[in-house]
């Protein structure tokens, strides 16, 4: 959706045009951006990032790989990054809980579904495009600008790995089997100071996520199709056409599906944000408080845009690569299968009673995960959610099945 400055005007037909312009501009600025953050914090401590030949990873990234899977760096001693971002499940959560449990006793519930960490390496830092569209950034509200900055939170968050402070992380780090290697890579004195050590831990995690092709293999069936190596079957091709068709799924308006002008592969996100009015998920413990709302860009986790009422309820467009491997969908994990997630898209407005609570008098309480004053932010003008009761949904149930078949071609590791 396009955000027009503070006015919050709903998206308009020019969307795909604007998105394409944006994609182009981004392609141009992306390499500069990546080069600019290439050194990163802490990278110079060892005097360079000479790649290790056998793994193809720099020494920093190779350490990051160990840290990523190390449960000893959590207060429980049982949780690592990989617990919520399982490499065997496209680096996303592997269960169907709306939110994961963390903390010392692994009983503190989180607030959002754990996203896949695949294909994030080309995400630009958060910015407002010339037309006002919020774009880029890590986390579902774009508040983290680098993998290193992002990694600081799970290590310390009470509902995640729950270290009480950086000193806690350092104490655990000193006891790891790779403590010596850590000193060799980051300098003999790196474990003398908690701030420095913590900084290097997050830097190592960053380099791992950036460098290891496990996070961005581009080897799905669809990639091989784009490379001309195989054919999609008829249902998949029908699904692709519906996905791209501006008057049917219109999915590609936000979930980019074709190669960019520079030939780079589609990531199935244009890095923008939208408010699609996902129903409240009472499975999330925080929702027991009727005053609790997760408003994405405008808070509560992100604080710098709290005054931008027009952005309340907008969340990042996630990549749809590997989406068929997920067991929960959307920021609050409200839906547990693709059929419901897609059904919600196309029948949200034609059949709202399927998705939202119905009051005693029969009124459907639409957009019930947003305070009344922000319900007008929900995108109701763009296909497929530009409908009203009595109109035909943008996709029929059979067409939804075809789109699901197509989405299945986006799973990495196709043989």
Looking at residue 76, what DSSP letter applies? S
Residue 35 CB, shortest distance to ligand HEC, in Å, is 20
Cite the DSSP H helix spans in 38-92. 59-68, 81-84
At 372, list the tokens: 């009344």
Q: Is 73 exposed, middle or buried (0-12, 13-18, 19+ CB in 10 A)?
A: buried
Residue 362 CB, shortest distance to ligand HEC, in Å, is 27
Which C-beta is closer to ligand HEC: that of 123 or that of 196?
123
At 30, list the tokens: 């992306």
At 364, list the tokens: 């459907």
Which C-beta is closer to ligand HEC: that of 112 or that of 362?
112
At 293, list the tokens: 């709302």
Residue 343 CB, shortest distance to ligand HEC, in Å, is 10
Which C-beta is closer to ligand HEC: that of 188 or that of 398?
398
Which C-beta is closer to ligand HEC: that of 148 or that of 190?
148
Residue 269 CB, shortest distance to ligand HEC, in Å, is 8
Contact residues: ligand HEC, CB under 6 A: 1, 79, 81, 83-85, 100, 102, 110, 112, 114-115, 117, 120, 138-141, 147, 150-151, 154-155, 160-161, 205, 249-251, 253-255, 274, 276, 278, 301, 315, 317-318, 320, 323, 326, 329-331, 338, 341-342, 345, 379, 382, 384, 403
Q: How close are the terminal C-alpha atoms of the chain, in Å? A: 36
CB 248 within 8 A of CB 406: no
Which C-beta is closer to ligand HEC: that of 50 or that of 247?
247
Bridging pattern class, strands 127-128 and 273-274: unpaired
Which C-beta is closer to ligand HEC: that of 61 or that of 342?
342
What span, in angstroms and rounded, lies between the C-alpha atoms of 403 and 338?
10
Residue 249 CB, shortest distance to ligand HEC, in Å, is 4
Backbone angles phi, psi at 144, to 5 degrees: -100, 135
Residue 361 CB, shortest distance to ligand HEC, in Å, is 28
């Amino acid at each position: 959706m396009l955000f027009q400055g503070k006015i919050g005007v709903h998206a308009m037909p020019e969307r795909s045009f604007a998105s394409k312009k944006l994609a182009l501009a981004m392609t141009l600025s992306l390499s500069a951006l990546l080069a600019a953050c290439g050194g990163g914090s802490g990278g110079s401590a060892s005097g360079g990032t000479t790649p290790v030949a056998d793994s193809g990873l720099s020494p920093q990234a190779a350490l990051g790989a160990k840290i990523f899977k190390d449960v000893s760096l959590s207060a429980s001693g049982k949780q690592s990054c990989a617990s919520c971002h399982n490499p065997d499940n496209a680096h996303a959560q592997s269960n169907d809980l709306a939110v994961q449990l963390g903390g010392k006793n692994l009983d503190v519930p989180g607030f959002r579904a754990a996203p896949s960490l695949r294909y994030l390496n080309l995400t630009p830092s958060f910015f407002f495009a010339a037309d006002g569209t919020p774009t880029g950034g890590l986390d579902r509200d774009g508040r983290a600008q680098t993998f290193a900055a992002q990694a600081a939170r799970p290590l310390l968050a009470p509902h995640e790995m729950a270290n009480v402070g950086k000193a806690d992380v350092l104490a655990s780090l000193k006891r790891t089997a790779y403590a010596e290697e850590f000193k060799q890579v980051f300098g003999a004195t790196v474990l003398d100071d908690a701030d420095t050590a913590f900084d290097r831990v997050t830097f190592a995690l960053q380099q791992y996520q950036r460098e290891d092709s496990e996070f961005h293999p581009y080897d799905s069936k669809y990639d091989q199709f784009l490379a001309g190596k195989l054919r999609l079957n008829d249902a998949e091709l029908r699904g692709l056409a519906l996905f791209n068709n501006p008057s049917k799924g219109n999915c590609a308006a936000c979930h980019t599906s074709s190669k960019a002008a520079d030939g780079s592969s589609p990531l199935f996100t244009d890095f923008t944000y939208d408010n699609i009015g996902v129903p409240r998920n009472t499975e999330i413990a925080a929702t027991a408080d009727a005053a609790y709302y997760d408003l994405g860009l405008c808070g509560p986790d992100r604080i710098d845009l709290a005054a931008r009422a027009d952005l309340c309820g907008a969340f990042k467009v996630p990549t749809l690569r590997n989406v068929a491997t997920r067991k929960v969908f959307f920021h609050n994990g409200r839906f547990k299968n693709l059929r419901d997630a897609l059904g919600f898209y196309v029948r949200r407005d034609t059949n709202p009673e399927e998705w939202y609570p119905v009051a005693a008098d029969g009124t459907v309480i639409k957009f019930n995960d947003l305070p009344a004053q922000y319900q007008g932010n929900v995108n109701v003008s763009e296909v497929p959610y530009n409908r009203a009761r009595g109109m035909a949904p943008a996709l029929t149930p059979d067409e939804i099945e075809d789109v699901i078949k197509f989405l299945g071609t986006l799973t990495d590791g196709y043989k």
